[in-house]
Amino acid sequence: MSTGTMKKSHSQWSSRMGFMLAAAGSAVGLGNIWKFPYMAGQMGGSAFVLTYLLFMFIIGMPILVLEWLIGRRGQKNPIHTMEDVAVSEGHSKSWRWVGIIGVLGSFLILSFYSVIGGWATDYIVLAAKGTFEGVNGKTTALIFDNFKADVGSLLTWHTVFMFATAFIVALGVGAGLERGCKLMMPGLGILLLVLVGYAIYASGHAFYKACDFLFTPNWSALNGTAILAALGHAFFSLSLGMGIMMAYGSYLGKDVDLLSTARTVVILDVVVAVLSGIAIFPLVFANGLEPAAGPGLIFVTLPIAFGNMIGGTVLGILFFIFLTFAALTSSISLLEPTVELLEEKTHMGRKTATIVISILIWALGIACILSFNKWADVKFFDKNIFDSLDYLTSKIMLPITGLGTVIFGAYMMKQKRIQEELNLTNFWFKIWRVLTSIVIPIAIVAILVFGLQH
């Protein structure tokens, strides 16, 4: 791989494949598993899936490419990358704010993402102990409620998960992030195929019911709310607007083709989301349960299915390992931008930087844990600490950073050079221009306005 004009000291991905798996690892996360399938079922089946697919390609993919492109130009953490690239294009250093909000966003998100990653890890153990055998809805809800009230155990699993995240990140870009994803992503793929296979094999007629729920096109359910939800999810699912992809781009060699890599990442992300639905909903329907979204689906509904079917214990263990891998390949990407910043700004070295940042995030995670129990009444605008952090980051900070990135890319950077760098023919470049200068900014403003109302 050529090093171009890069500083020698800066790390790099060892191969395009490693980079692609790391980016896909960041993209594939809890959103694919507990959010997308339910959204699809509720908001129009294949009408929603197709809309989502369109947004992933015309909105998500160009921003993904821009974040990588800017990161690769800057070769530094997102804040200094934005600053340097802005100055080299003849603009103000204030563009660093796009990087600042992004890095801050990833820092804040990890504090609660790690708590949920801890739940997933604990559920591997619960499934292995046979806790779910023969349970009904009341029992699993009780198990989950008790778990959320138990500060000691939440803290233990948050600590375990954060430690695992920090351990991988401390090893560095090649030996940590890249190797971790090279090991976990194929594992994740195999587990998903096993889960899908089982769902098809064991759920009988419920499999068709699940496909019906997920795919029957219902264009009337695809209202404004659904369209904006698809847009927002395309954004979240590709881990955009939080400095992650910019940081990942900073470790990228000049010879990697950004467009084709982005296309693969988008496809992988969508395929995992759709297959997750095919793995989950047949079990839900076969057990006569109601589909739900979010934590309720994964930690309350699914355990009932696992507890009442043949081979359910093993399947439950595999499912929660799958969930933990998906969360871990995303959490390491959330830690990276801040660690890169501290590593470059100070002389503490990568390991110390990782430890310092991880302890800060871990401590903030404790506030999230307490918001489920002792601090449940501490509210900002009617939301507890956990929900406030989620709202602030995904509904406000993320779109703002995304908007900043696309405006910068479309109006502040020399377009000819972008065309060359992306190897676009004039025809495709015209489309790129229309998307980045008009369509995407309008779409992000719509996400922002919509998000503020919900």
Rule CB under 6 A: which residues touch ligand PHE? Answer: 26-27, 29-32, 109, 236-237, 239, 242, 244, 330, 333-334
Q: Work out how close the CB of 392 gets to ligand PHE at its nearest, in angstroms, rounded to a whole number.
A: 13
Cβ proximity to ligand PHE: between 307 and 399 the closer is: 399
Cβ proximity to ligand PHE: between 32 and 250 the closer is: 32
Q: Work out how close the CB of 295 gets to ligand PHE at its nearest, in angstroms, rounded to a whole number.
A: 13
Among 357, 388, 362, CA closest to 375: 388
Among 398, 332, 375, CA closest to 175: 332
CA angle 342, 345, 350 (to 5 degrees): 45
Q: Work out how close the CB of 31 gets to ligand PHE at its nearest, in angstroms, rounded to a whole number.
A: 3
Cβ proximity to ligand PHE: between 239 and 384 the closer is: 239
Cβ proximity to ligand PHE: between 244 and 400 the closer is: 244
Among 265, 208, 120, 178, CA closest to 1: 178
Q: Work out how close the CB of 374 gets to ligand PHE at its nearest, in angstroms, rounded to a whole number.
A: 27
Cβ proximity to ligand PHE: between 333 and 388 the closer is: 333
Q: Work out how close the CB of 109 gets to ligand PHE at its nearest, in angstroms, rounded to a whole number.
A: 6
Cβ proximity to ligand PHE: between 60 and 74 the closer is: 60
Q: Work out how close the CB of 72 gets to ligand PHE at its nearest, in angstroms, rounded to a whole number.
A: 20
Q: Work out how close the CB of 29 gets to ligand PHE at its nearest, in angstroms, rounded to a whole number.
A: 3
Cβ proximity to ligand PHE: between 279 and 413 the closer is: 279
Cβ proximity to ligand PHE: between 109 and 164 the closer is: 109
Q: Work out how close the CB of 399 gets to ligand PHE at its nearest, in angstroms, rounded to a whole number.
A: 13
Q: What HEC string does the chain produce? A: CCCCCCCCCCCCCCCHHHHHHHHHHHHCCHHHHHHHHHHHHHCCCHHHHHHHHHHHHHHHHHHHHHHHHHHHHHCCCHHHHHHHHHHHCCCCHHHHHHHHHHHHHHHHHHHHHHHHHHHHHHHHHHHHCCCCCCCCHHHHHHHHHHHHHCHHHHHHHHHHHHHHHHHHHHCCHHHHHHHHHHHHHHHHHHHHHHHHHHHHHHCCCHHHHHHHHHHCCCHHHCCHHHHHHHHHHHHHHCCCCCCHHHHHHCCCCCCCCHHHHHHHHHHHHHHHHHHHHHHHHHHHHHCCCCCCCHHHHHHHHHHHHHHCCCCHHHHHHHHHHHHHHHHHHHHHHHHHHHHHHHHHHCCCHHHHHHHHHHHHHHHHHHHHHHCCCCCCCCCECCECHHHHHHHHHHHHHHHHHHHHHHHHHHHHCCHHHHHHHHCCCHHHHHHHHHHHHHHHHHHHHHHHHHHHHC
Q: Work out how close the CB of 239 gets to ligand PHE at its nearest, in angstroms, rounded to a whole number.
A: 4
Cβ proximity to ligand PHE: between 286 and 392 the closer is: 392
Cβ proximity to ligand PHE: between 312 and 404 the closer is: 404
Q: Work out how close the CB of 104 gets to ligand PHE at its nearest, in angstroms, rounded to a whole number.
A: 13
